[in-house]
Amino acid sequence: MSVLRPLTMLALFAAALPAFSQSKNGLHVIKTLPIGGTGGWDYVTVDAAAKKIYVSHTNRVHILSTSGDTIGSIANTNGVHGIALAKPFNKGYTSNGRANNCTVFDLKTNKPIGTVATGTNPDAIFYDDFSKKVYAFNGRSSDASVIDVATDKVVATVPLGGKPETGVSDGKGNIFVNIENTSEVAVIDAKTYKVIHRYKIEGGEEPSGLAIDVTTNRLFIGCGGSKTMVVMDATNGKSLAKFPIGDCDGVAFDPSLKQAYSSNREGNMSVIKELSADKFEFVENVPTESGARTIGIDVNTHQLYLPAASASNPFHLIVVGK
């Protein structure tokens, strides 16, 4: 997710994956939420409890209610990629790829309260509740900046040996991050800030999207290079299943429904069902919109949000639900 896609590139992407005429899940695009403006975008983060959506957009973050009302924005986030929410501290963090820093903001007022210098081109970012740290994954310096939320200081820089993409936590002290150019998952010990394992992704190339089921310790890895989703055992790196999807850049997981979703820039969202810890099945491709390559999930309503834009329809969010 390291490249912010301009609107002019969207015409290059055409629908390539088959789609069912009627969704097996009943999933479909139920509405779009207008945002407007031009320029690129990347991650979308949904705060289900607060009913808020945070959307990165070129040099600002748009904040909407889940009903689509505009709540506010965070400006001067140059080249923003992702948004992390450290809710126990009432703080949010944006990864500003062109500024090589993170903006810290107040979750109640949305006002910036400071910046934290990171490595080069911070991209994916998330808050780990186990360690009370924010991890910013830096695409050009190939490392992770670990930020202590209590002090807003970088307490460690973790070399990753390749270009990091999305990171997740198992909530037990292990951080998992896709390494795009080596097609691996690196595992960081959240106590020592050291890489303790490197798992090769069998059957997957150029991993970008990543989600985890913390109850079964299963990783859902969206690999844009091979257009596959690989399901991996997070405890040992064993590949358990592989499914054809599309040019995926984002993956979301619904812990209640036990379903993983990949947002494919061809204009589809692939649905993978976790039947058990060791059994999975491909359900369907749900039509979305060409270029809609990132995804956020509301785990309470089970609705999914995908940013998109076209020449005829400026920047907006696609809402997929029942």
Chain segment 47-58, per-residue pLDDT in tens: 999 999 999 999
Say if 6 falls within a structural domain: no
Q: What is the pLDDT of residue 163?
A: 98
| Residue 202 reports pLDDT greater than 90 | yes
Distance, CA of 106 to CA of 208 (rounded, Å)? 29
Q: What is the pLDDT of residue 254?
A: 98
Compute the average pLDDT of residues 76-84. 97
Say if 70 falls within a structural domain: yes
Furthest C-alpha separation in the chain? 52
Say if 129 falls within a structural domain: yes
pTM as predicted: 0.92
Say if 177 falls within a structural domain: yes
Distance, CA of 278 to CA of 236 (rounded, Å)? 14
Say if 245 falls within a structural domain: yes
Say if 2 falls within a structural domain: no
| Residue 11 reports pLDDT greater than 80 | no
| Residue 21 reports pLDDT greater than 60 | no
Distance, CA of 96 to CA of 127 (rounded, Å)? 16
Say if 3 falls within a structural domain: no
We report the CATH number of the domain holding residue 285 as 2.130.10.10
Phi, psi values for residue 5, rounded to 5°: -85, 120
Which range among 11-25, 74-88, 97-111, 288-302 shows the weakest confidence by mean pLDDT?
11-25
The band of 1, judged by pLDDT with boundaries at 50, 70 and 90, is low
Amino acid at 247: D
Average pLDDT, the chain: 93
The band of 18, judged by pLDDT with boundaries at 50, 70 and 90, is very low
3-state helix, strand, coil in the chain (%, to 5): 5, 55, 45
Say if 1 falls within a structural domain: no
Q: What is the pLDDT of residue 7?
A: 40
Q: What is the pLDDT of residues 249-284, one digit of tens each?
A: 999 999 999 999 999 999 999 999 999 999 999 999
Q: Which two tokens stand for residue 281?
A: 């099945």
Range of the domain at 117: 17-321
Q: What is the pLDDT of residue 312?
A: 82
Q: Residue 21 gets which letter from DSSP?
A: S
Distance, CA of 170 to CA of 102 (rounded, Å)? 24
Overall domain count for the chain: 1
| Residue 12 reports pLDDT greater than 70 | no
